[in-house]
Amino acid sequence: MAKEPSSKKVEIEGIDELLAILKKHRKRIGLSQEQLGQFANLSTTSVGEIERGEVDPRFSHLLKMLKLCRLKLYVEPK
């Protein structure tokens, strides 16, 4: 059975950092790029390009990918 995500909150400085966390967590829960793509309605190639930072994902795709990887995005005032 896949490990559940920790409840540790991380401050993200940029998209590359967020995508690295997404990729790391996707692997941790045992989800392939192909599976993530199927669930997020993206090609496997697109998932790889997004994770490598080669393309900027649409915000709606990013939110869907985060949700599928059991991650949440929080926004709070500084």
Does 4 score more than 50 pLDDT? no
What pLDDT shows up at residue 29?
95
- Looking up residue 64, the CATH number of its domain turns out to be 1.10.260.40
Per-residue pLDDT of 27-77, as tens digits, reads 999 999 999 999 999 999 999 999 999 999 999 999 999 999 999 998 889
Q: Which residue has the higher pLDDT, 5 or 24?
A: 24
What pLDDT shows up at residue 2?
42
What pLDDT shows up at residue 1?
38
Domain that holds residue 50: 15-68
What pLDDT shows up at residue 50?
96
Do the domain assignments include residue 36? yes
Name the pTM for this structure: 0.81
Do the domain assignments include residue 54? yes
Do the domain assignments include residue 10? no
Q: Could you tell me which of 22, 9, 33 has the C-alpha nearest to residue 69? A: 22
The per-residue DSSP string of the chain comes to -PPPPP-------SHHHHHHHHHHHHHHTT--HHHHHHHHT--HHHHHHHHTTSSPPPHHHHHHHHHHTT--------
